[in-house]
Structure 1
């Protein structure tokens, strides 16, 4: 299951990913726990509608005061979706406290293989291409795995705070 010698890349979801997304969604739901990034949770068994939703978020259409963001799948060369990351185009009053520029998640069956470090590294490169030179990444204070991923990628802890639900979070900055 873990083979870091493969080629990996980030790619925006497309129609040809429908079956792979359904499988990812089902496996993640069966495993339980929080599905990250949040745009994955907007999937409701209508892939075409979900793709339109993702495109709207990318363009900033019909998202209210939310920040536009672009979703990418982490895939290997066989096209298997290993995880996903969502890149926020800028920070607003909400995600400056909690959420930051990037959210990422690895499908539970692929965790523990180093894919978290890889997806954040690739996300940081995409953010740099978008002109973001300093990236805010947050995680729950009890999420040791995510803390290790962030620190591995150069994260510097700025502070701990609480989100709107009262959950304690760490705020890290990474120079791209």
Structure 2
């Protein structure tokens, strides 16, 4: 989560990229990210890090995106 004063500066994208790099070093592959579909900022951050919508969950208001770490930008 990025605090409101720091939003729109690429911090969320960088934070997720660093987290994914750490996951890759630990051999975690692929990575599943869940988010509320109305949160457009989260969607952008996930997509900038290689996420692709794979399913809309049966849990109301939750979508899922998998990120294959070998294809990270």
If the length of structure 2 is used for normalisation, what is the TM-score?
0.87
Q: Deviations over 1:118-142 (max 9, x none)?
A: 0000000011111102100111010
Structure 1 residue 118 and structure 2 residue 11: aligned? Answer: no
Map 1:41-52 onto structure 2 (within 5 A). none
Gaps of 5+ in 1: 1-104
RMSD: 1.1
Q: Which has more helix, going by share of residues?
A: 2
**Structure 1: 4+ residue segments shifted above 4 A:** none
- 2:51 alignment counterpart: 155
Q: Deviations over 1:58-91 (max 9, x none)?
A: xxxxxxxxxxxxxxxxxxxxxxxxxxxxxxxxxx
2:57 partner SS: strand
Structure 1 residue 136 and structure 2 residue 32: aligned? Answer: yes
User: Residue 175 of structure 1 is aligned with which of 51, 68, 71?
Assistant: 68
Q: Which has more strand, going by share of residues?
A: 1
Give the aligned length.
Answer: 69
1:132 partner SS: coil
1:116 partner SS: helix
